[in-house]
Amino acid sequence: MILLLLILFLSSFCLENQCRFQGNPPLVWEKPPQPYNLTNLACFEYYDYFDGHVCCNASQALFFKENFAEAVSFFGSCSACLKNIYFTWCNYACHPNQSDYVNSSNHVNGEPLQNPTFKICRRWAKQVYESCQFVPFVSAMWPTYVAFWLTQAASAIPVPVTLEFPPNDQDDDPNYWCPLDKIRPCQDECDCLVCPSACEGTNDISYIDNDCKVGKLSCFTFYLILGCSFIGFAFLFSIIRRIIFRNKKVGFEKKPILN
Ligand SMILES: *[C@@H]1O[C@H](CO)[C@@H](O)[C@H](O)[C@H]1NC(C)=O
Ligand SMILES: *[C@@H]1O[C@H](CO)[C@@H](O)[C@H](O)[C@H]1NC(C)=O
Ligand SMILES: *[C@@H]1O[C@H](CO)[C@@H](O)[C@H](O)[C@H]1NC(C)=O
Ligand SMILES: *[C@@H]1O[C@H](CO)[C@@H](O)[C@H](O)[C@H]1NC(C)=O
């Protein structure tokens, strides 16, 4: 009996902190996470809660670094949005409890990872979407958080994974990845143009000087036109970037950078 309990205890201990995959292209890697060298992992630029052990490795970190540099052209007009997205994909690849949130249809170490799914809670998905919603590229492409997350992986960020949300908004389900305290709200770091909640206070009517003119236009109209042209331009630019980016065929198909 004691032996059984001991085995149960030990096996539950061993099941903790388990990885599902590693590398680029991703291979099944069901092993404990490894200590990381901070210098090599681009994912730790902003965050430090991985307890010193991760499931991703240096070649993945380089892959992320390169692709997130590309993502700046889509989401960079609001750094909170960019960092929230970055954080999500870094957690997918590096989280030490990866096997709690990531599943796949094959489990043989060293084989290519097949049909990976990543379980994330709806509140995280919604709040990240809210931080990105008014970035021109995002508002043009994705009208809802579900659309944003389900197709984002395949388009702007080349991570081939299916996201899985809890059924019926069961956000308290601990089986879904949900670090709400790590959300960066856009009003903390983005300007009013891409984050309406940052505008509060600045759209006070007393800020608009009625005598202020730029040519025949009032300043308010002038700034409005300027703002709209900027959004139009940014959208056009991101579409062009997108076409170029697509043609470059970045993705997990890409050869590992280090090997
Ligand atoms: C990263 O992991 C992959 C898959 O396990 C492996 O093939 C590759 O050699 C690793 N790269 C580094 C730099 O450790
Ligand atoms: C971490 O990586 C950097 C860059 O590759 C290297 O210079 C440094 O010696 C490494 N540190 C440790 C503790 O391995
Ligand atoms: C991983 O899971 C263990 C056990 O459930 C928990 O103590 C630890 O905080 C988790 N790590 C992270 C980074 O969430
Ligand atoms: C993981 O995937 C396998 C095979 O697709 C499936 O049988 C299993 O139920 C899944 N586990 C979880 C926790 O979703």
**Radius of gyration of the chain, Cα coordinates, nearest whole angstrom:** 22
> 186-219, pLDDT tens digit by residue?
999 999 999 999 987 655 443 334 444 455 454 4
Interhelix angle 145-152/122-132, rounded to 10 degrees, is 90
Question: 106 C-alpha vs ligand 4 centroid, how far in Å?
Answer: 10
> 98-132, pLDDT tens digit by residue?
999 999 999 999 999 999 999 999 999 999 999 99
Residue 96 near ligand 3, beta carbon < 6 Å: yes
Whose CA is closest to atom 3 on ligand 2?
A: 39
- Strand-pairing partners, residue 112, are 27
Which atom of ligand 2 is the closest one to the Cα of 38? 1
Among residues 25, 23, 178, 171, which one has the least CA distance to residue 88? 178
Residue 31 is predicted with a pLDDT of 96
Residue 221 is predicted with a pLDDT of 47
Give burial (CB, 10 Å; 0-12/13-18/19+) of 30: middle
Among residues 125, 132, 239, 128, which one has the least CA distance to residue 194? 132
Residues 6+ apart with CB under 8 A from 248: none
Can you tell me the mean pLDDT for 66-84? 88
Determine the Cα–Cα distance for residues 147 and 63; give it in Å rounded to an integer.
Answer: 25
Residue 40 near ligand 2, beta carbon < 6 Å: yes
Question: 201 C-alpha vs ligand 2 centroid, how far in Å?
Answer: 47
> 126-149, pLDDT tens digit by residue?
999 999 999 998 988 899 999 998
